Amino acid sequence: MHHGEGPTEKCGVVGVALADREAARPLYYSLYALQHRGQDSAGIVTHDGFQQHGHVEMGLVGDAFGPEDLEDLKGSAGIGHVRYPTEGGVNASCAQPFSVSFKSGALGLAHNGNLVNTGELRDELESLGHAFTSDGDTEVIAHDLARNLLDSDLIRAVKRTMGRIHGSYALTVMHDDAVLGVRDPRGNRPLCLGELEDGYVLASESAAIDTLDGELIRDVRPGELVVLESDGSGYDSYRLFEEETSAHCFFEHVYFARPDSVIDDRLVYEARRNLGRALWDESGIDTDVVMPVPDSGRAFASGYADAAGEVDADVEFAEGLMKNRYVGRTFIMPTQDERERAVRLKLNPIRSTVEGRTVTLIDDSIVRGTTSTQLVDLLRDAGAEEVHLRIGAPPIVAPCYMGIDMATREELVAADRSTEEVRAAVGADSLSYLSIDAVADAIGQSRADLCLGCVTGAYPFDVDGEETDREIDRPVTSGGEPADD
């Protein structure tokens, strides 16, 4: 799947508490490391023991902060956030961290995820006189937490708020100079804990910890609250909720997370290679050449080719589509009749690799199907005899309500099409997805502990207008002769 048409993760969060050092730069660098999780705004809130400092701006991390901005963010503790546009449009007031001051101090919140009962909570708080400046979940969480803090200590207040908010969330929170990390009781969105030489760090992905030269300690557990000591000397853990099953998002492994992040003790890059191996095992096909969709399919293709190579050393793995790294935001779109050709601006097929040959094209997922269609076209134009598509995830048949801006059901090519119909739609000679069980296996989780909403239509939380027990199961392969193993 090509970025741009793919699902868009809605956020990355981070929090640090250090012994003696200013927190602003480590926060800045860790947001840089999480930039792939949100490119629309970036923000940091710190606390210097006396007061809160904040800077939130639209744009990429590198554009949102200047050197003076970092200087102004005093204090050795802080949280940060990168975000994607929400449905309500992007504007400065939705950017995070969200900060408020209230009776017993200052709160800052950075949220990744999506609540399913925001409306209800909001009504309740409004009845008590609360007024809201945005439509966001984060403000509702902040108000609820502030209210609970009126007559509870911090741990108890967080527990009460967690008992009231339903949905997916990984939060970093500042209460005055205390930095907290919270993960929802089903552990839907990732959050991990790391140790630095002189402090501790919480982050959506472990790659952010690496950037700070820290060591990953472990994932924050579902339902756990981690409180960092303000002086960077340690952390406390409170398992506030424990549920029987988790609802980890498997799409983090397939698509969102950086390949160099470790989630649930598993390196994402390795997980993707495993998914590629499983793909060969389930639906491998003999073709002249195996090629990845760059960059999303590369790890999958490498695993697929390895597995293929074990049975047939002759399979050729080659880069046959070359990406132009400079195609950016300010690009002038081609006119309608140039459009088809101009896909080549982004991805150029290498004729000599493709011409007169049968090709297996490997990608991580299909959302709308637009890119797949274009790529199959490109390869045929470049002379491919056959184009077989192998996808390292199951068909995406339903929207995500857990914090990923995937697409509406209408836009999802597989929502109301069989695999054969999708194959026909994208124009491939054969198409195979990976089965759900293979996914669970490859990422080392039990199927019961995964959120499979987008591939089954059955969600771990009650979602208005969605049945919770509908489960879509369908053949994931169409066309193509299985390779001999």
Tell me whether residue 70 or residue 424 sits nearer to a second copy (CB atom): 70
What is the DSSP code string of 383-396?
A: T-SEEEEEESS---
Which tokens belong to 331? 């690009």
Which tokens belong to 285? 């096909």
Please give the C-alpha separations between residue 165 and each of 80, 119, 157, 183, in angstroms, as whole numbers: 22, 11, 12, 12
Q: Residue 451 annotated as binding?
A: yes
Q: Which stretch binds a second copy (CB under 8 A): 138-146, 182-190, 245-253, 285-293?
A: 138-146
Q: Which stretch binds a second copy (CB under 8 A): 260-268, 394-402, 409-417, 438-446?
A: 260-268
Q: Smallest gap, in angstroms, from Cβ of residue 100 to a second copy?
A: 4
Q: Smallest gap, in angstroms, from Cβ of residue 62 to a second copy?
A: 4
Residues forming beta bridges with residue 347, ordered by sequence position: 323
Residue 87: Cβ-neighbour burial (10 angstroms; 0-12, 13-18, 19+): exposed
Q: Is 4 in the site for a second copy (CB under 8 A)?
A: no
**Contact of 179 with 228, CB cutoff 8 Å:** yes
Which residues neighbour 265 within 8 Å (Cβ) at sequence distance 6 or greater? 219, 444
Q: Smallest gap, in angstroms, from Cβ of residue 418 to a second copy?
A: 33
Integer Cα distance of 421 and 127 in angstroms: 50
For residue 204, which of 404, 63, 4, 391 has the smallest C-alpha distance? 404
For residue 429, which of 386, 400, 463 has the smallest C-alpha distance? 386
Q: Binding a second copy by CB under 8 A: which of 11, 158, 193, 212?
A: 212
Site mask for a second copy (CB under 8 A), range 7-46, x = bound: ------------------x--xx--xx-xx--x-------
Q: Is 485 in the site for a second copy (CB under 8 A)?
A: no
**Contact of 261 with 254, CB cutoff 8 Å:** no
Q: Is 50 in the site for a second copy (CB under 8 A)?
A: no
Q: Smallest gap, in angstroms, from Cβ of residue 180 to a second copy?
A: 16
Integer Cα distance of 268 and 260 in angstroms: 6
Q: Binding a second copy by CB under 8 A: which of 27, 44, 47, 98?
A: 98
What part of residues 339-358 is at the interface with a second copy (CB under 8 A)? Answer: 341-342, 344-345, 348-350, 352-353
Integer Cα distance of 74 and 52 in angstroms: 8
Integer Cα distance of 225 and 471 in angstroms: 32
Q: Is 269 in the site for a second copy (CB under 8 A)?
A: yes
What part of residues 307-336 is at the interface with a second copy (CB under 8 A)? Answer: 309, 313, 317-319, 322, 324-332, 334-335
Q: Smallest gap, in angstroms, from Cβ of residue 262 to a second copy?
A: 8
Residues forming beta bridges with residue 192, ordered by sequence position: 203, 219
Tell me whether residue 142 or residue 431 sits nearer to a second copy (CB atom): 142
What part of residues 65-94 is at the interface with a second copy (CB under 8 A)? Answer: 65-67, 70, 92
Q: Is 464 in the site for a second copy (CB under 8 A)?
A: no
Q: Which stretch binds a second copy (CB under 8 A): 61-69, 162-170, 217-225, 248-256?
A: 61-69
Tell me whether residue 132 or residue 447 sits nearer to a second copy (CB atom): 132
192 catalytic? Reply is no
**What H or E segment, with its residue span, contains residue 17?**
strand 11-18
Q: Residue 296 annotated as binding?
A: yes
Q: Binding a second copy by CB under 8 A: which of 302, 360, 419, 478?
A: 302
Strands 321-323 and 347-349: antiparallel
Q: Smallest gap, in angstroms, from Cβ of residue 430 to a second copy?
A: 26
Q: Choosing from 11, 142, 180, 315, which is the catalytic residue?
A: 11
Q: Binding a second copy by CB under 8 A: which of 143, 175, 186, 277?
A: 143
How many Å from the N-terminal Cα to the C-terminal Cα in the chain? 27
Q: Smallest gap, in angstroms, from Cβ of residue 428 to a second copy?
A: 22
Which tokens belong to 357? 């040959």
For residue 360, which of 322, 385, 390 has the smallest C-alpha distance? 390
Using CB under 8 A, count the residues that bind a second copy.
Answer: 81
Residues catalogued as catalytic: 11
